[in-house]
């Protein structure tokens, strides 16, 4: 076994030519800004809010003997996934000691594009996993992250699963493992900006005096929130980070969103720092949770903000009685095919 691979699953034929992969999405960021690594190198970093459910599924059929760059993708608009497939093919061929080849990639999923939920990274990671599976391999998260950054330019940390990480998205490396799980929270999701996609590559980061100290402070606060399972502190971090990011995004609904959180007993708000998806965070242990969720949904509707879905940061929300009335679909025009 090399540093790039994990053991092949029992019973997997190493000579197979068809592979499958899947990757989930996230719901925007809890924290995003500029942070120092262990060597005091300053880099972009983020902590995403995991969300189970929507995601991308990939199937890859290898064509041994075909040119290595001869990869087709359906839908043909998924150019980042195609690039990831070519990179993963070369990686896996080298691990197997064989010549790289081409193949056919098919992507399906239910993720909206451009709302800041990691749709392109989900495509890319699902693709990398499918290509590796077609070789009878499972690549390590570090390898998948390296390939994803090469394919996208910047990547979300979906390859590492739901645990909270401070991740350098432009370098594909983990700056800090914050813990095993975020504090428990119920999130009422919504879409700002009329659910319209955002061109993330067009966004320009603005850094002002005091920002680096502010981000370092929020990092320490989040570390404490995770260690103590402190949902209220989690809300304070995500709200402060969202407010800092408004210099770039300028959501006209941000003040209304914050007002709804304050008036319904929520602990804070979170937004996608490169998109329009947002959420209002509640502590599941607080009294009157169900009433707060209902008031929140009604208040969002009054403000013309589209509620999307209610979800949790932990595995099973059943004991909370999270009601189905808070779950709707995102704007059809933003949905993926």
Taking only the tens place, the pLDDT of each residue in 300-319 is 999 999 888 899 987 554 44
Residue 32 pLDDT: 94
How many Cα atoms are found within 13 Å in the side-chain-facing hemisphere of 67? 4
Q: Say whether pLDDT at 251 is over 70.
A: yes
CATH of domain 5-176: 3.30.230.10
Mean pLDDT is lowest, of 7-21, 144-158, 185-199, for 7-21
* CB-count burial class (<10 Å; 0-12, 13-18, 19+) for 42: exposed
- Alpha-carbon span 82 to 78, nearest angstrom: 6
Nearest CA among 4, 214, 198 for reference residue 93: 4
Confidence of residue 331 (pLDDT cuts 50, 70, 90): very low
Name the CATH code of domain 181-334 (choices 3.40.50.300, 3.40.50.2000, 3.30.70.890, 3.30.70.20).
3.30.70.890
Residue 14 pLDDT: 53
- Alpha-carbon span 167 to 172, nearest angstrom: 7
Nearest CA among 133, 153, 175 for reference residue 23: 133
**For the segment 260-280, what is each residue's pLDDT rounded down to a tens digit?**
999 999 999 999 887 789 999
Residue 337 pLDDT: 35
The domain spans of the chain are 5-176, 181-334
Residue 276 pLDDT: 85
Q: In the predicted model, what is the mean pLDDT of the chain? A: 86
* Sequence-distant (≥ 6) Cβ neighbours of residue 283 within 8 angstroms: 184, 185, 186, 231, 232, 235, 267, 289
Q: Say whether pLDDT at 327 is over 70.
A: no
How many Cα atoms are found within 13 Å in the side-chain-facing hemisphere of 96? 24
Q: Say whether pLDDT at 321 is over 50.
A: no
Confidence of residue 336 (pLDDT cuts 50, 70, 90): very low
Q: What SS3 state is found at 237?
A: helix
Nearest CA among 134, 121, 155 for reference residue 23: 121
Residue 109 neighbours by CB distance under 10 Å: 20
Q: Which residue, chain included where needed, has tokens 């995601």? A: 55
* Sequence-distant (≥ 6) Cβ neighbours of residue 273 within 8 angstroms: 28, 29, 32, 46, 116, 241, 242, 245, 248, 249
User: Exposed e or buried b for every residue in 197-236, given b needs 16+ CB within 10 A?
Assistant: bbeeeeeeeeeeeeeeeebeebbebbbebbeeebbebbbb
- Alpha-carbon span 198 to 134, nearest angstrom: 34
Nearest CA among 312, 267, 313, 311 for reference residue 286: 267
Peptide bond into 75 cis (omega under 30): yes
- Alpha-carbon span 193 to 333, nearest angstrom: 14
Mean pLDDT is lowest, of 10-24, 77-91, 96-110, 215-229, for 10-24
* Sequence-distant (≥ 6) Cβ neighbours of residue 168 within 8 angstroms: 35, 37, 43, 44, 45, 174, 175
Q: What SS3 state is found at 57?
A: strand
Mean pLDDT is lowest, of 126-130, 245-249, 319-323, for 319-323
For the residues 170-195, what does the mean pLDDT come to?
Answer: 91
Domain 5-176 identical in fold to domain 181-334: no
Confidence of residue 328 (pLDDT cuts 50, 70, 90): very low
Residue 310 neighbours by CB distance under 10 Å: 24
Q: Are 57 and 189 in contact (CB under 8 A)?
A: no
The values of phi and psi at residue 179, to 5°, are 160, -170
As a whole-number percent, the residues of the chain with pLDDT over 70 amount to 83
């Amino acid at each position: 076994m090399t540093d790039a691979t994990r053991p092949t699953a029992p019973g997997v034929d190493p000579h197979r030519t068809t592979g499958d992969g899947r990757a989930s999405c996230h719901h925007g960021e809890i924290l995003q800004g500029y942070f120092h690594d262990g060597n005091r190198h300053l880099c972009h970093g983020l902590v995403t809010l995991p969300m189970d459910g929507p995601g991308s599924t990939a199937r890859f059929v290898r064509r041994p003997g075909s040119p290595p760059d001869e990869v087709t993708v359906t839908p043909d608009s998924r150019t980042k996934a195609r690039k990831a497939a070519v990179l993963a093919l070369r990686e896996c061929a080298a691990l197997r000691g064989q010549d790289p080849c081409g193949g056919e990639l098919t992507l399906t999923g239910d993720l909206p594009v451009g709302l800041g939920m990691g749709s392109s990274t989900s495509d890319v990671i699902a693709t990398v996993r499918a290509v590796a599976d077609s070789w009878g391999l499972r690549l390590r998260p570090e390898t998948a992250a390296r390939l994803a950054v090469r394919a996208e330019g910047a990547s979300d940390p979906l390859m590492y699963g739901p645990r909270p990480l401070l991740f350098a998205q432009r370098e594909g490396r983990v700056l800090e493992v914050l813990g095993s799980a975020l504090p428990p929270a119920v999130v009422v999701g919504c879409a700002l900006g009329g659910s319209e996609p955002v061109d993330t590559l067009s966004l320009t980061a603005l850094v002002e005096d005091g920002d680096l100290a502010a981000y370092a402070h929020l990092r320490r606060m989040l570390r404490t929130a995770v260690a103590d399972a402190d949902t209220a502190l989690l809300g304070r971090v995500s709200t402060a980070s969202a407010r800092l990011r408004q210099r770039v995004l300028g959501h006209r609904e941000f003040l209304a969103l914050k007002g709804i959180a304050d008036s319904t007993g929520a602990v804070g708000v979170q937004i996608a720092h490169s998109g329009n998806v947002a959420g209002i965070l509640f502590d599941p242990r607080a009294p009157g949770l169900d009433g707060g969720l209902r008031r929140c949904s009604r208040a969002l509707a009054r403000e013309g903000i589209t509620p999307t879905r209610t979800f949790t940061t932990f595995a099973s929300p059943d004991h909370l009685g999270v009601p189905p009335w808070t779950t709707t679909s995102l704007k059809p025009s933003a949905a993926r095919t």
